[in-house]
Amino acid sequence: MAEHEKRKTADQLDEALRLLDHELAGLALDEPLQIRAIGGYALIKHGVRKGDRASTVDIDTVSKSYSAAVEQAIRKVAEIADLEPGWLNNDNVLDDDPEHVENMLDAEWLPQPMGLRNIAVSIASIPTLTRAKIMASEDAVFSDRLQDTADLKDLLDFQGISTLRKFQQLYPDPFDEFPEAARVVRDHLAPGRSAPRPTERFPELEDVALDPYGLDDPDDFVDDVGIYR
């Protein structure tokens, strides 16, 4: 984590949004500014990031690019609230096409009642954030964004995913597109596991080979007989 980063809590970013709402009042927007938060801000709002990890430098949003006037208002709020200049950004959206990202993640957005008049804030659902972090974990191999793998582990814990089978049921990867994410999940759920076994490329066989009746996890047994907790 770079020392110069201006990391903020969700409450501080909420206050920045209120300041921005005030700045936007004079622009006579045709419709409220759309914010669909997909990163750290959403994780904090859900309570996934806690303790010393409950801060972020920005709000990543899956939105179309804002107008020059809106961008100017965003920069003004950054100066007032001591935020990074790009504290509100859509850097994750390629070709200014939010629909592409939403389709890729099968995204679901949860509206946040913040009492704002010129901004509509939504945050990504937990499954949407998990799929995003699965994809981001692949890039973490080649960058210093270790927070993506940390976020993925926290999301597993938050959802109560305690076995590889459960993870594969909820987030299947039939074409093995995300091997790094699979490694992170295996290491988190079974730390210190030995070298990869032949069943690794066919994970649906792994639990059968180790436990043919699925009794290693009581929850698995309960699910198998059609009773859901």
Q: What is the rounded distance in angstroms from the CA atom of residue 200 to the CA atom of residue 212?
A: 16
- Model pLDDT for residues 104-151, shown as the tens digit of each residue: 999 999 999 999 999 999 999 999 999 999 999 887 665 556 789 999
The CA-based angle 11-28-75, given to 5 degrees, is 45
Q: Would you list the domain boundaries of the chain?
A: 10-124, 129-224
Which 8-state DSSP code applies to residue 11?
Answer: H
Tokens linked to 141: 């191999």
Tokens linked to 74: 């965003």
Would you say the pTM of this structure is higher than 0.75?
Answer: yes
Positive or negative: CA dihedral 132, 64, 91, 121: negative
Mean pLDDT of the chain: 85
- Model pLDDT for residues 11-22, shown as the tens digit of each residue: 999 999 999 999
Could you count the other beta carbons within 10 Å of the beta carbon of residue 16? Answer: 21
Name the band, by pLDDT with cuts 50, 70 and 90, for residue 193.
Answer: low
